[in-house]
Structure 1
Amino acid sequence: MKQAKISEAVVRRLPIYLQVLNELHSREIQTVSSQELGVKLDLNPAQIRKDLAYFGEFGRKGIGYDVIYLIEKIRQILKVNQTIKVALVGAGNLGLALCNYNKYAKDNMKIAAVFDVHPDKVGTHINQLIVQPMKELASVVESENIRIGIITVPAHEAQNVANQFIAAGVEGILNFAPAILRVPDDVRIHNADFTRELLSLAYYLNHEDGEGDTDESAMD
């Protein structure tokens, strides 16, 4: 792999490429060009080639990319060719939905443990998982080598849960709570705030194309 600094935008596009490649593989398509990927993803083919070139030379001129080979390489880059265990805190409706998705996930990133603070939820089953009390989080994270934590609790509880994940040694957090969390520099955090995304989407509903961009361009 090349040593150039990889931007976050590139990393976020890799799972999209993988999703499309998996779909092509399911249809027994063996090769695909950057032009064909560009059409499917509504991206410039040159951008796709540039993104992949950060990690190596995977295509062949005049032929394109071998679908299975590129799937394997992107899985290696994303490190989902190895098992990565995940813990989830918050066994509410969203937590339940994520665990149900986890049941059918085909990659090696799996929710291995679920925790909740409410006694009426502790001990209940979500598929093959048993909801455990928060007091067991640290020991389970250590014993199961859990590297990622998911937070699906109310906003006022989110920072406390994040603190417990950090103290237990997780390396990354996916936060679904509508709260801005403070974490150390060595812990990666991604936010999936539905409210924020819906509010920003609402802005564009009654705007014509291009409207609303004036202020941003004026500030450049």
Structure 2
Amino acid sequence: MSDRGLFVVIEGGDRVGKSTQVRALAAALELSGVDHVITHEPGGTPVGNTLRDLLLDPESDLDDRCEALLYAADKAQHVSRVVLPALAAGQTVVSDRYVGSMLAYQGAGRRLNVDDLKAIAGWATGGLRPDLTVILDIEPARAVARARNLDRLELAGADFHARVRDAFLVQAADDPDRYLVLPALVSVRTTAAKIRTAVGTLLGRELAIPELHEPSQRHG
């Protein structure tokens, strides 16, 4: 690796336990003395948080292309203000969602042209790619059924979320060296251990094992 820090992204559908696994990885990095930044999309910056509120509000009446462009704007701000400065400082960045979500949700989910979205996202992020993307995979109905107070995307319907899931799996199949696909909503410890091992391998060191709590992943 160069002096640039490591960029890790946790992806997957709604309510699959992403935020739980981000916290578990953050705890392992902290215990191991690895300088790191934990962040998320949409959001992660003041501008991004404003966009997040608009994008996820069930009352927002957004055209699909408008939605995609707002997600791209969020990524441009996030990469510029959070991700790139941290990587330049040699920090490990762990993000809950990144470009993969835009391609899955707005591409497959909204049926927008994926090549167009790749070009827009690539321009917004300066072509920055994660070193590792972890996809937490589960049949969408099992995950969303656990939720209350559904947001705008969670309300998009079963067919929408099935297309999103398939798109994530295609992304992983197309670039297996940069992806790790794990079953979602199983043992928190087992999933965390696999993520910790993969990240430790990229860092060239074994990461400490934090104390984790079962039995379930509640958010994400």
**Structure having the larger proportion of residues in helix:** 2
TM-score by length of 2: 0.26
TM-score by length of 1: 0.26
**Structure having the larger proportion of residues in strand:** 1
* Higher RCO (CA 8 Å, separation ≥ 6 residues): 2
